[in-house]
Amino acid sequence: MRCPYCQTELPDHATECTHCDWVRDSTIEELRGENWLAAMLSFVPGLGHLYKGHLVSGILLLCVGGPAFLLFVMLLAPKTFGLSLLLPALFVAATAFHAFHLPDVRVHPGPREHALRTLAHWGKRMHR
Ligand SMILES: [Zn+2]
């Protein structure tokens, strides 16, 4: 492709020009939009992570982390006079914050590749 401003030859799907200050608008818009969407999806902890292609942490949050946390809160509720019921809000906020700042791995290296790398990383840690 060529830069729409200065006609410099750029790699395909370039997001900015190497010669002038042209930046692809949609790139900035998309990244911001996706981050907020990921944060909002985190009202169901794990969905925001899945959305950005983080399969392992997303599934763990969705199937293990969220339910385990809720159970913990329920068990704690009678002992804290119900104060522990405020914790899910904190949990959701923390998850949303994390999802918001996660790198988007859907395109690079791809959800499957990222999942494999995560598992390989954890496997190495466990064998140490
Ligand atoms: Zn240019």
In a domain, 118, yes or no: no
How many domains is the chain partitioned into structurally?
1
Separation of CA 6 and ligand 1 centre (Å): 4
CA distance 73 to 83: 9
- 75 found inside a domain: yes
pLDDT tens-place string over residues 18-56: 999 888 776 555 555 568 888 999 999 999 999 999 999
Alpha-carbon Rg of the chain, whole angstroms? 20
**How many residues comprise the chain?**
128
pLDDT band at 102 (very low <50, low <70, confident <90, very high): confident
Token look-up 């598992």 returns 119
Tell me if 120 is assigned to some domain: no
Q: If you measure from the C-alpha of residue 7 to the centroid of ligand 1, how many angstroms do you get, rounded to a whole number?
A: 6
Ligand 1 midpoint to CA 30 (Å): 21
On whether residue 76 sits in a domain, the answer given is yes
The CA 13 to ligand 1 mean position distance, Å, reads: 14
Residue in this structure with the two tokens 């020009």, named with its chain if needed: 17
Q: Where are the beta strands (DSSP E) in 4-124?
A: none
> Is 124 within the bounds of a domain?
no
pLDDT for res 119: 92
- Evaluate whether residue 111 is within a structural domain: no
- Residue 121: inside a domain: no
Domain coverage including residue 79: 25-51+58-102
- 66 Cβ contact partners less than 8 Å away, ≥ 6 residues apart: 44, 45, 46, 91
Q: Is residue 35 part of a domain?
A: yes
The residue assigned the tokens 């499957």 is 112
